[in-house]
A and B are shown apart, each in its own frame.
Chain A
Amino acid sequence: MSGTDVLRLESVRKTFGSQVVLRDVDLAVPEHSVTALIGASGSGKSTLMRCVNLLEGIDDGAIFLDGSEITDPRADVDAVRRRIGVVFQSYNLFPHMTVLENITLAPRRVHGVGRAEAEARALELLDRLGLAAKAKEYPDRLSGGQQQRVAIVRALATGPRLLLLDEITAALDPVLVGEVLMVVRDLKEQGMTMVLSTHEMGFAREVADRVCFLDGGVVLEQGPPEQVFGDPQEERTRQFLSRVVASGRLQG
């Protein structure tokens, strides 16, 4: 099992000052699988992803990418990041670049792909997400959902081994949520390994192979969606899910 795990976290601990944000977190993400992180706001979902991408250092434990420890101080941070694609909760597109430039920046500057080739690939991806017409626009001229999809294309353009999607639908209306989720579904079909955080339980249930419930920085419960949603073992999970149901976000 551990041989095919793309990502593995072993008792990861992360603190901000005196606040413990992640406590003994264990997580294994097999190849071609989708893991959904769920949990209340502030439970540490974004922090977990930032740690995986080495944007935050961890206090204890270890994170492995394809079996090698990336939290080792001797690990090449840039090389690790080249293999991980990230879509942030707040898009973080580069406002001074067009959509096409945003997408081709990393392939050209980091991976040494030629301009023509990088652009052709970017346009192909944009076309797949229905954004080909926006290639020459600047991000501030796009709607939220369009920006989010551009951010996804930007993360995909380097052909990452692992894709981290942090609440990519948080700022979108239901129709746009549908659009973006369709993209994720397509990616899953193509075999992309993904970790995503979401408040859309219906989506998590449908797309995820494993669901991981974070509560106060602790993984309280994880397992296949049918189990976590259908037969939660922990009282806290049940409470969280019933609150979510009450707010109408658990129609699968």
Chain B
Amino acid sequence: MTGEAGAAGPVEVAKEPVGPEGPKRAKDPTGATEPTGVEAFATRAEQDGYRPSERRLAHEAYRRSRARRSALIATASTVLTAVALYLLVVNSPGWEVTRRTFFNLDYARQALPEVLRGLRLNLELMLGCGVLILVFGLLLAVLRTLRGPVFLPVRLLATAYVDFFLGLPMIICLLVMITGVPALRLTGVTTDPLLLGGAALVLTYSAYVSEVFRSGIESVHPSQRAAARSLGLTNAQAMRYVVLPQAVRRVVPPLINNLVSLQKDTGLVSIGGAIDAVYAAKIIAAHSFNFTPYLLAGLVFIVLTIPLTRFADWLTGRMNRRQLQGGAV
């Protein structure tokens, strides 16, 4: 009896300082429903007295051993494949010549600064053109969704534009812009191959990107538009506040892939004589008869695009997960 009473005493004393904290936390809108942080978790764990069962521990141990096994197998198979590929290449009859013309470290060292200097141009082109392409692409896509007889010509023009540039090979568009436009001798129109090349990129890619945006717009369920319209929003308002925000979010991954593709295609502008990474490599390759600079330029482009594609993958994965969660409701 006395022992019980004595035990009750200290517990109450220990609880007292917690008391005033309780109501304070309850008033806090974020803390009220979901206590966060280690301290809150510890309190909760203590309250319901949860200890992982033997079964759970055994399951987790098994899963860990499986994961270790998978990692081991993956490493082993990767190493084996790499070794096999290496042996295959190195033992091929033309390897010595290939190595000298494509994998020459001296030339690589010589070319690197030039290639990197040229790369600046590629990056500038990509950024500048990228912004214009997004704007024009979105504009084209929205123009094609306009309804009503007044907009018929607009719709037709936008459609014709997209059809034309989707089909036109990039290289022909570039050649026509870079060599054809200066030949017209128009006053006030630039003959700078860089600007003309950039314009060709914008023309072609706007068509691609507008198709991406359009598919995004069409993927938004009609009931969303219906809901917006029944709230009294006009067509344009429904597009701006309800359809486009959802559409754009959905097409971010394919847009990034287009950006990657654009990044590579900036290399094509070198056919007009602008000194970008590819042209810089060409200059060195031309007077050394060694192709290492090309390979180097190629590697530099790859290194640039990998983070972008991984980012697109990550984004897609994240959105898929979110959608799954949403679907569970």
Which of A's residues lie within 8 Å of B, judged by CB? 53, 55, 78, 81-82, 84, 86, 88, 90, 92-96, 105-106, 109-111, 133, 140, 142-144, 147, 154-155, 158
Given that A92-B223, A133-B33 are contacting pairs, would A110 and B237 also be in contact in the complex, using a CB cutoff of 8 Å? Answer: yes
Q: How many angstroms from the CA of A34 to the CA of B230 in the assembled complex? A: 20
Q: Which of B224, B242, B249, B329 has the most CB of A within 10 A?
A: B329
Given that A88-B223, A95-B246 are contacting pairs, would A140 and B230 also be in contact in the complex, using a CB cutoff of 8 Å? Answer: no
Q: Are A55 and B230 in contact (CB under 8 A)?
A: yes
Q: Are A109 and B241 in contact (CB under 8 A)?
A: yes
**Chain A residues closer than 8 Å to B232, beta-carbon distance:** 78, 81-82, 106, 110-111, 158
Q: Which of B29, B231, B242 contacts A110 (CB 8 A)?
A: B231
Q: Are B230 and A53 in contact (CB under 8 A)?
A: yes
Q: Are A142 and B245 in contact (CB under 8 A)?
A: no
Given that A140-B329, A144-B329 are contacting pairs, would A94 and B230 also be in contact in the complex, using a CB cutoff of 8 Å? Answer: no
**Chain A residues closer than 8 Å to B228, beta-carbon distance:** 94, 105
Given that A55-B230, A154-B231, A158-B232 are contacting pairs, would A95 and B326 also be in contact in the complex, using a CB cutoff of 8 Å? Answer: yes
Given that A55-B226, A109-B241 are contacting pairs, would A143 and B246 also be in contact in the complex, using a CB cutoff of 8 Å? Answer: no
**Chain B residues closer than 8 Å to A82, beta-carbon distance:** 232
Which of B's residues lie within 8 Å of A, judged by CB? 29, 33, 223-224, 226-234, 237, 241-242, 245-246, 249, 322, 325-326, 329
**Chain B residues closer than 8 Å to A95, beta-carbon distance:** 246, 326
Q: How many angstroms from the CA of A140 to the CA of B319 in the assembled complex? A: 13
**Chain A residues closer than 8 Å to B326, beta-carbon distance:** 95, 140
Please name the 6 residue pairs, one residue from A and one from B, whose CB atoms are nearest each other, closest first.
A82-B232, A140-B326, A92-B227, A106-B231, A110-B232, A86-B230
Q: Which of A55, A88, A92, A110 contacts B233 (CB 8 A)?
A: A110
Given that A94-B242, A144-B329 are contacting pairs, would A88 and B227 also be in contact in the complex, using a CB cutoff of 8 Å? Answer: yes
Q: How many angstroms from the CA of A236 to the CA of B209 in the assembled complex? A: 57
Rounded to whole Å, the gap between the CB of A135 and the closest CB of chain B is: 10
Given that A82-B232, A106-B232 are contacting pairs, would A143 and B227 also be in contact in the complex, using a CB cutoff of 8 Å? Answer: no
Q: How many angstroms from the CA of A93 to the CA of B241 in the assembled complex? A: 13
* Minimal Cβ-Cβ distance residue in A for B327: A140
Q: Are B229 and A81 in contact (CB under 8 A)?
A: yes
Q: Are A133 and B29 in contact (CB under 8 A)?
A: yes
Q: Are B230 and A84 in contact (CB under 8 A)?
A: yes
Q: How many angstroms from the CA of A12 to the CA of B193 in the assembled complex? A: 66
Given that A81-B231, A106-B231 are contacting pairs, would A96 and B33 also be in contact in the complex, using a CB cutoff of 8 Å? Answer: no
**Chain B residues closer than 8 Å to A142, beta-carbon distance:** 329
Beyond contacts A88-B223, A90-B223: 15 other A-B pairs, Cβ-Cβ < 8 A, are A53-B230, A55-B226, A81-B231, A84-B230, A88-B226, A92-B223, A92-B227, A93-B227, A94-B227, A94-B228, A94-B246, A105-B233, A110-B232, A140-B322, A158-B231
* Minimal Cβ-Cβ distance residue in B for A81: B232
Q: Are A96 and B230 in contact (CB under 8 A)?
A: no
Q: Are A96 and B249 in contact (CB under 8 A)?
A: yes
Q: Are B227 and A109 in contact (CB under 8 A)?
A: no
Q: How many angstroms from the CA of A143 to the CA of B232 in the assembled complex? A: 26
Q: Are B227 and A78 in contact (CB under 8 A)?
A: no
Q: How many angstroms from the CA of A140 to the CA of B223 in the assembled complex? A: 16
Q: How many angstroms from the CA of A143 to the CA of B29 in the assembled complex? A: 19
Q: Which of A90, A105, A143 contacts B231 (CB 8 A)?
A: A105
Q: How many angstroms from the CA of A86 to the CA of B226 in the assembled complex? A: 10
Rounded to whole Å, the gap between the CB of B32 and the closest CB of chain A is: 8
Q: List 29 A-B contacts (CB under 8 A).
A: A55-B226, A81-B230, A81-B231, A82-B232, A86-B227, A88-B223, A90-B223, A92-B224, A92-B226, A92-B227, A94-B224, A94-B227, A94-B228, A95-B246, A105-B231, A105-B241, A105-B242, A106-B232, A106-B233, A109-B233, A110-B231, A110-B233, A133-B29, A140-B322, A140-B325, A140-B329, A142-B329, A147-B329, A158-B231
Q: Which of B33, B227, B231 has the most CB of A within 10 A?
A: B231
Q: Are B230 and A109 in contact (CB under 8 A)?
A: no
**Chain B residues closer than 8 Å to A109, beta-carbon distance:** 233, 237, 241
* Minimal Cβ-Cβ distance residue in B for A142: B329
Rounded to whole Å, the gap between the CB of B220 and the closest CB of chain A is: 10
**Chain A residues closer than 8 Å to B224, beta-carbon distance:** 92, 94
**Chain A residues closer than 8 Å to B231, beta-carbon distance:** 81, 105-106, 110, 154-155, 158
**Chain B residues closer than 8 Å to A155, beta-carbon distance:** 231
Q: How many angstroms from the CA of A8 to the CA of B268 in the assembled complex? A: 67
**Chain B residues closer than 8 Å to A93, beta-carbon distance:** 227
Q: Which of B229, B233, B245, B329 contacts A96 (CB 8 A)?
A: B245
* Minimal Cβ-Cβ distance residue in A for B323: A140
